[in-house]
Structure 1
C-alpha cells in the first residue's frame, strides 16, 4: 500500500465541528478534488490516529460517517474510496479530466506520436536509432565535472558551444558570425518563438510560404502576427507576389525556408534570393531564415544561406542541431546582429532564464573534437541511400499514381498525386494498413485539399521503406 499523508490542520478547543467531522470533511474534500480516487485505500484507523494524534475511535467515527454517506466502502479489513461516488450537495465533484474553472483559448496543433507497429513517413525526422548516445553520454559526464554549469549562466547559452558553433557556421555555411552574435535556444521552434515574441507586435503583418510550415504559423500567430500567405513554385517563394502584398501595407517580417523549402523541398533560385534581399533592405523587413536541415545536401554544392550574403543586416538566421542528433535534445540557435541577441537574452530572462548548459557543454566538446561533424557526414551518407531506396520503391510500386522530382537535399520527398486519386481517403486507408503519411492539405494555408504527399525517408531504414511503399500500394483504390 502506498503511503498516504493527511496535510490538514485539525482545530480543537474553540472549533465549531467535532474532530471526527473535521477528519471526514477533509477526506471528503480530497475525494472531490481528485486527490483520492475511486478504489484508493485509506490508511488504517490506528495509523491515521497516530498521525493525527487523536484517539482511534475518533477516526473510526469519521470512517463510519463517510461510509454512511457513500464516500467510502469497507473491503476486506480495508477502507477504500467508493467506486460509485455521490454528488456533493455543494456542487459537482472534481473533474477527472482536469478541466479548469475558467475559459481557455482553443488548443493549437500538436505533434502526433508514433503508434506501435506503424511505419510512419515522419516529417523529416532523424533516425533515433543512429544517435551517438555513447559519445554524448561520455561528454555529458565530463560536463558534470564543471560545477559552475549547475548554477545560473548566460541567457545567450553556454560560451563554449556558441564559440564552437560560430566556427562551424563560418567554415561550413559562410556566415560571418561571432560568439556574441549567437543565441542558443530550445530547438529551431524555440528560436522562432523567442524571435517572434521579441520582434513582432500585435497586428504586425508577417509573410509566410504557402504551402508552408504550420507549426511556424502557429508560433507567429501566438506572438500577434497577421499572416500573409505567399505562393511557392519550383524555385521557392514568388517574390513578385510578395512585392504586391506590400501595396496593402508594410510587412514586419518574412518567414521562409529557402534552402530546402518546407514542405516542397525546392531551393530558392539565385535571382529570387537577390531580389528578396533587396526588397527586405529597402522596406526594412526582417527575413526569418529557417535553415532547418542544412547538413543534408546530397548533390552539388550546398546553397549558402541568405544570411551569408546580407550586407544590410536584415536576415535573422534560425538553425538547429536536432536533425544531426535528436529533436528531444532541443538544441537550436539564432544568429543575428548583436543588438538582436541582447534583446533576445533579455526576453529569455523573463521566461526560463537559460537553456541546458550541461548539455550545451557536452555538445560543444563533440563539436570541438570533430565528432559531431563526423557523425553528420555518416548520417548524410545513410540518408542519401535511403532517399534513393524510397525513390526506387515509389517508381516500382506507384509509378502510375504519383510523380516526384528527386531533391538535391533534405529529408523527405514531395509527391504529386494523380488528380483522379482521393489523397485524403488514400491516407486514411494507408493508416489502417499500417503506414502513416502526411497529405498536402496539412501544409496548405487555407486547409485546402492538395494532390500531394510528403514522405520523410530519414527515420526508416531501407527494409522499412520498401515495406512502407508496398503498404501504400495496397491501400490504393482498386480501380487504379
Structure 2
C-alpha cells in the first residue's frame, strides 16, 4: 500500500460546515462511503491526524472523535507505533469464516527496486467458506449449457484442416464473429451498428478500462450516480478523473442536478447505468433519458452508458439503451455478453463511432494481442444457430421464477423491516432498511449463523441503510435458509 499522504482525500471526502449535522459525524459518514465505494480499500494506511486535519481543514479533536467512532464500528483500527488502517477482513472475521483476497505482500527489504503502488486499484472482493452467501447479483453457473458448447467446440476442432495461414484464419474468424455479434446487438438492443462500430474484449472490465483510458485525462470531471458501482468508480478514479456525484431517485439520476453541474463546470463524461442502475436497480425514466441526451448535445459531454445486465429482463418490452436513440454520436455504449456461459466464454464489448473504435483497438492490441479463434468460431455458430436466443429465453424464465420467490420470501419474513421495489431486470433486489442499525454488526451476526454478506453489498450513510441482495445464484431452499438467517440476525441485533 502506498504512502497515505498520496491519497486525494478532498476528491471524495465532502464536508459541509453549514449543514446541521455535526462535522465529526459528516467525517464518519464520508469515510464509510469511501470505504464502501472502494476509494479507501482495506489495509490502506491513513495519514496522521495532524496531516489529515490540514487536508480536510478540520479541528484535530473533531477528527479524533470521528476516528474513535469509526473504530468502534469496525471500519478502522489503530495499531500502536504503526498507524491507523482501514480494517482488514481477517481482523474482523475468524479464519473459518473468511478467506481474505489473495494479495501477496512482501517486505520492501526483500525487493531490489521501487515501483508505483496504487491506493485505488485494490480488489474489494471477499470470499467465504460459509454455507450460505449473498452477492451483488451473479448468475448461477449450475445453469450453464456445457454440453452444447462442448459439442460445438469439438466439432470446430475436427474441422480445422485448412490451407490458410493462421493470420488469415484469425482475420476471417474475427470479422465473421463481429458480423454475427453486431447483428445480434442490433436485433436485441435496437442499435444500428456495423462491424466498424464494434470492439469485443475478453471481459466487461477490459472494455471499461480501454474506454476510460482513451477518453479521460487527469483532472477531467466525471459525473457518476450516488450510490454507484464501486468497480467503475475505481477505474474512473485511477485515470485521474475528478468524480462528481449526483443523487438517484425513483426515476433514476437527478437530471436537474446534472444540469446545474453542467452550468457550473465543464464535465467530460457522464457515467450511467441507465437500464438498471447499480446498485439501486432503478431504470432511468423515458423523460430523463431524453433530457440526458439533450444535455449531452448542449454541453458536449460524453455519455458512457454501461449496460452490464441487459440480458436479464423479465418483461416483454425491454428498455432499449440510450445508444439506440443517439443521433448525435454522444454515447459510448459498453456491455457484457454471455454472463451465463462458462468462465472464459463471456465477452465485453464497446459500441461507438468507428474512429473511436480504431483508437481503442490500438490499445487493445497491447493488452490482448491474440484472438481465440476457436472460441469466436464456436460463439459465432452458437449465435447463428439461435442457441443464444433459446438459452436466454430458458434462463430468463428460471431467473424470473427465482426473483418472484425471493420477493415473496422478503415480503413474508421482512416486510415490517424493509422497503423495496420488485426489479424488472437483473439478478438482485435493492432493499432499504426502515430501522437504523450498523450494517457491519449485521454482517457479523449473519456470519455467526452461517450467512455471508460481503461489504460490497452494504450501503450506509447518515440518510441510508440499504443492502443489495443477489438472488440469481440461489435455488429455492438456499433462498429460504439465507432469508431466514438474515431475518433472525436482524432480530438479534435489534434486541441488543
For Structure 1 versus Structure 2, the TM-score category normalised by the shorter chain is: 0.7 to 0.9
**CA deviation string 1:232-269 (max 9, x = no partner):** 11111111111111233211111111101111111100
- Structure 2 CA distance, aligned partners of 1:377 and 1:262? 24
Partner of 2:140: 127
> Tell me, which stretches of 5 or more residues in structure 1 are unaligned?
1-93
Distance 1:268 1:154, change over 3 A: farther
Correspondences of 1:372-383 after superposition (within 5 Å): 372-383=388-399
Could you tell me how far apart the structure 1 residues matched to 2:192 and 2:301 are?
A: 21
- 1:378 deviates by 0.9
Offset of residue 437 of structure 1? 2.8
State the alpha-carbon separation in 1 of the partners of residues 306 and 151 from structure 2. 31
Which residue number corresponds to residue 423 of structure 2?
A: 407
**From 102, 105, 114, the counterpart of 1:102:** 114
Alignment correspondent of 1:68: none
The number of residue pairs the alignment matches comes to: 385
Paired residue for 2:305?
289
Q: Which residue of 2 aligns with 1:257?
A: 273
1:332 is matched with: 348
Residue 398 (structure 1) shift: 1.5
CA distance, structure 2, for counterparts of residue 431 and residue 155 of structure 1: 51
Q: Distance in 1 between matches of 2:356 and 2:244?
A: 24
2: CA distance, partners of 1:156 / 1:99: 46
Within 1, Cα distance between the matches of 2:172 and 2:269?
23
1:245 corresponds in structure 2 to: 261
Inter-CA distance 382–344: structure 2 relative to 1 (3 Å threshold): same
Aligned residues of 1:204 and 1:225 also touching (Cα < 8 A)? yes
In the other structure, the counterpart of 2:129 is 116
1:458 aligns with one of 472, 492, 496: 472
Q: Give a deviation string over 1:187-231, Cα, whole Å, max 9, x none.
A: 221111010111111111111111110100111122221111111
**Please, which of 432, 437, 451 is the counterpart of residue 421 of structure 1?**
437
Give the deviation of 1:157 after TM superposition: 8.6
TM-score, normalised to structure 1's length? 0.74
CA contact (8 A) 1:185 1:331 kept: yes
Provide the residue aligned with 2:218 in structure 1.
202
The answer on 1:266 being equivalent to 2:274 is: no
- For the residue of structure 1 that corresponds to 2:468, the secondary structure is strand
Alpha-carbon contact 2:459-2:467 (below 8 Å) kept: no
Deviation at 1:471, TM superposition (A): 1.1
* Counterpart among 243, 246, 249 of residue 233 in structure 1: 249
Given the alignment of the two structures, is residue 139 of structure 1 paired with residue 139 of structure 2, yes or no? no
The C-alpha deviation readout for 1:253-302, integer Å capped at 9, x for no partner, is 11111101111111100110001001101222111111111121113411
Unaligned runs of 5+ in 2: 1-105
Q: Secondary structure at the match of 1:472?
A: helix
* Deviates further, 243-252 or 184-193: 243-252
| Distance across 2 between alignment mates of 1:194 and 1:215 | 14
The equivalent residue for 2:70 is none
Shift of 1:342: 0.7
Q: Which has more radius of gyration?
A: 1
Are 1:469 and 2:478 counterparts? no
Distance 1:100 1:152, change over 3 A: farther
1:350 aligns with 2:366: yes
Q: Distance in 2 between matches of 1:442 and 1:448?
A: 14
Q: Is the 8 A contact 2:221 2:242 kept in 1?
A: yes
Q: Is the Cα contact below 8 Å between 2:458 and 2:467 reproduced in 1?
A: no
Alignment RMSD: 2.7
Work out the CA distance in 2 between the residues paired with 1:349 and 1:155: 14
Partner in structure 2 of residue 16 of structure 1: none
TM-score between the two structures when normalised by the length of structure 2: 0.72
Name the CA distance, whole Å, in 2 between partners of 1:455 and 1:474.
16
Per the TM alignment, residue 114 of structure 1 is displaced from its structure 2 partner at its CA by: 3.8
SS of 1:158's partner is helix
